[in-house]
Chain A
């Protein structure tokens, strides 16, 4: 579905991503993990087309998307950003409606179908009852669901999510990740997810990719990626990986102070 090969990105002279290659399949949740500044968000931004690619290609179903217009690209790839600094005066309905942008004509007219899709997207994230509320009045968890609904309204086969659980409490984190897994396994979306919490990644993602200094150093199942020999040097922190008593997946705990 999504195929990235030798992708390199630079900010000025500084390389931020180096020769990144990965595949994302239909119906799969791939969690992107790595320390701060390792290039996770940059990868999301590069794939969504808001920063230029220095080298390499990004293909969706065999088609190179780096030369597509923003509108064509937004029909293939949707992004769920972090729920910070949304325009507070818009209603939830208006916000989700923005997801229909790549399908509107130049007059910006809405069809009945657009409205139905917005309704479905809101229903999908269990937020239809919020439709007429102003975004500024929502809790962090609600706002994050609205952004997910907006991305769903784009009707794309691929979703990119930049730390969708960053500002949520435990309950909202779990419910958001449940929703994400459903969307992949049930609706067949291909989802690339930036996550900080290694243990949530282990629990909800089908595969994990570890990013360190702009390079992918490991990719595979939680058991293959979450091993102390990889995680400790990458994060500069002694860790121990144990098997979780309930589901048996790897569970990472920090041991002592970081090596600064």
Chain B
């Protein structure tokens, strides 16, 4: 199966993209969709596809890529199968950073928007550093302590976020709707605002496969094999946190994609991080697109936040992995 991994995952992505473009409060058959995409559709279909569906689909796909890629990287760096941008608190930290930026009065322009991921990045870096230092036992962070530290810091960041939102009256609504994934009404601006950060972050992650493989042998062996462990760990933590921050800035806090997707990829296609990171990036896009489609149709015409869908699917999955980790630690 691993030989065809790229083909399988690309087909899944194309299907997910098509579903995301076709399904919504106005359902578009495939023929209409193709016409609209090539600019030959009727006016209504054109405007639905180009102004609403496509920007939303691209934003969701980019967010999924970011969560899948950073999830795989955190898991590899911490040698911890439960690491996920949400569970280790990075996403909440990034959310806090984003809300701090939003509670100031900043312009609605593209440049103003581009400042949000920077603030989110600051929050993410701070969180990941604190969580790692709290959870560290010797040179590794055992699964359970990492999650405990993540949960604690995450609640702290979330409380601060709520507090800020309650205090800042006028901006509250905007920040709240953004963190719930409400920025989809903003068209292409959020996509453009996160694209540069994601390009940098995802490129670094996609190139990190060999280094992540080395980390699986522990710091000491990795260094003896020629890896500059201290430096590379910092670069990869920064890149994964930048990627998470960009995703959180305009899609809000979405849990479990960064946990589930790398796990599925590992189960299906093997442990090699050279492939695993790229596959998790692509698989993350598909998974979040499908979740988003579900979020649109479950209570149609009303939408539910996509984070609810991923949490409903992800929490049981998390418990399943936790059981596996426990039995591995016992055996």
How far is B219's CA from A81's CA once the two chains are assembled, in angstroms? 13
* Residues in chain B near residue A102, CB distance under 8 A: 225-226
Q: Does B136 belong to the interface (CB within 8 Å)?
A: no
Task: Please tell me if the beta carbons of B228 and A98 are within 8 angstroms of each other in the complex.
Answer: no
B205-232 vs A, Cβ < 8 Å mask (1 yes, 0 no): 0010111011011111101111111000
* Residues in chain A near residue B274, CB distance under 8 A: 108
* Residues in chain A near residue B214, CB distance under 8 A: 98, 101
Task: Please tell me if the beta carbons of A49 and B207 are within 8 angstroms of each other in the complex.
Answer: no
How far is B272's CA from A98's CA once the two chains are assembled, in angstroms? 12
In whole Å, how far is B182's beta carbon from the nearest beta carbon of chain A? 39
Task: Please tell me if the beta carbons of A98 and B220 are within 8 angstroms of each other in the complex.
Answer: no
Q: Which of A79, A87, A106, A154 contacts B216 (CB 8 A)?
A: A87
Which A32-72 residues have C-beta < 8 A from chain B?
45, 48-50, 69-71
Task: Please tell me if the beta carbons of A101 and B220 are within 8 angstroms of each other in the complex.
Answer: no
Which B245-271 residues have C-beta < 8 A from chain A?
266, 270-271
* Residues in chain A near residue B209, CB distance under 8 A: 108
Q: Which of A75, A78, A101 contacts B227 (CB 8 A)?
A: A101
Knowing A49-B223, A50-B224 are in contact, say whether A101-B210 is a contact too (CB < 8 A): yes
Q: Which of A45, A75, A86 contacts B226 (CB 8 A)?
A: A75
How far is B139's CA from A257's CA once the two chains are assembled, in angstroms? 39
Task: Please tell me if the beta carbons of A81 and B228 are within 8 angstroms of each other in the complex.
Answer: no
* Residues in chain B near residue A242, CB distance under 8 A: none
Task: Please tell me if the beta carbons of A79 and B224 are within 8 angstroms of each other in the complex.
Answer: yes
Knowing A90-B272, A108-B274 are in contact, say whether A49-B218 is a contact too (CB < 8 A): no
How far is B219's CA from A46's CA once the two chains are assembled, in angstroms? 14
In whole Å, how far is B156's beta carbon from the nearest beta carbon of chain A? 33
* Residues in chain B near residue A73, CB distance under 8 A: 226
* Residues in chain A near residue B219, CB distance under 8 A: 50
Knowing A98-B217, A108-B210 are in contact, say whether A78-B270 is a contact too (CB < 8 A): no
In whole Å, how far is B279's beta carbon from the nearest beta carbon of chain A? 15
* Residues in chain B near residue A150, CB distance under 8 A: 225
* Residues in chain A near residue B272, CB distance under 8 A: 90, 94
Residues of A in contact with B, size category: 20 to 34
Q: Which of A48, A89, A94 contacts B224 (CB 8 A)?
A: A48
Task: Please tell me if the beta carbons of A70 and B217 are within 8 angstroms of each other in the complex.
Answer: no
Q: Does A138 belong to the interface (CB within 8 Å)?
A: no
Closest partner residue, chain B, to A74 (CB atom) = B226
Closest partner residue, chain A, to B217 (CB atom) = A87
* Residues in chain B near residue A45, CB distance under 8 A: 220
Q: Which of B210, B228, B271 contacts A87 (CB 8 A)?
A: B271
Closest partner residue, chain B, to A103 (CB atom) = B226
Knowing A71-B228, A87-B217, A94-B272 are in contact, say whether A106-B207 is a contact too (CB < 8 A): yes
Task: Please tell me if the beta carbons of A99 and B224 are within 8 angstroms of each other in the complex.
Answer: no
Residues of B in contact with A, size category: 20 to 34
In whole Å, how far is A146's beta carbon from the nearest beta carbon of chain B? 12
Q: Does A174 belong to the interface (CB within 8 Å)?
A: no
How far is B214's CA from A260's CA once the two chains are assembled, in angstroms? 43
In whole Å, how far is B103's beta carbon from the nearest beta carbon of chain A? 40
Q: Does A170 belong to the interface (CB within 8 Å)?
A: no
Task: Please tell me if the beta carbons of B216 and A70 are within 8 angstroms of each other in the complex.
Answer: no
How far is B228's CA from A61's CA once the two chains are assembled, in angstroms? 23
Q: Does A230 belong to the interface (CB within 8 Å)?
A: no
* Residues in chain A near residue B221, CB distance under 8 A: 79, 81
Closest partner residue, chain B, to A77 (CB atom) = B224
In whole Å, how far is B236's beta carbon from the nearest beta carbon of chain A? 13
In whole Å, how far is A164's beta carbon from the nearest beta carbon of chain B? 14
How far is B225's CA from A48's CA once the two chains are assembled, in angstroms? 10
Task: Please tell me if the beta carbons of A101 and B271 are within 8 angstroms of each other in the complex.
Answer: no
* Residues in chain A near residue B220, CB distance under 8 A: 45, 50, 81
In whole Å, how far is B271's beta carbon from the nearest beta carbon of chain A? 4
Knowing A81-B221, A86-B217, A90-B271 are in contact, say whether A107-B226 is a contact too (CB < 8 A): no
* Residues in chain B near residue A104, CB distance under 8 A: 210
Q: Does A112 belong to the interface (CB within 8 Å)?
A: no
Q: Does A85 belong to the interface (CB within 8 Å)?
A: yes
Which B277-299 residues have C-beta < 8 A from chain A?
none
Knowing A98-B214, A98-B217 are in contact, say whether A70-B270 is a contact too (CB < 8 A): no
Task: Please tell me if the beta carbons of A71 and B226 are within 8 angstroms of each other in the complex.
Answer: yes
* Residues in chain A near residue B211, CB distance under 8 A: 108
In whole Å, how far is B113's beta carbon from the nearest beta carbon of chain A? 32
Closest partner residue, chain B, to A160 (CB atom) = B224
Task: Please tell me if the beta carbons of B225 and A90 are within 8 angstroms of each other in the complex.
Answer: no
Q: List 21 A-B contacts (CB under 8 A).
A: A48-B224, A49-B223, A50-B220, A50-B223, A70-B224, A70-B227, A70-B228, A71-B226, A71-B228, A74-B226, A75-B226, A79-B221, A79-B224, A87-B271, A94-B213, A98-B214, A101-B210, A101-B225, A102-B226, A107-B207, A154-B226
> Considering the complex of A and B, which 5 residue pairs feature the smallest CB-CB distances, nearest first?
A74-B226, A108-B210, A102-B226, A89-B271, A87-B216
7 other A-B residue contacts (CB within 8 Å) besides A71-B228, A98-B213, A106-B207:
A50-B220, A73-B226, A79-B224, A87-B271, A89-B266, A90-B272, A150-B225
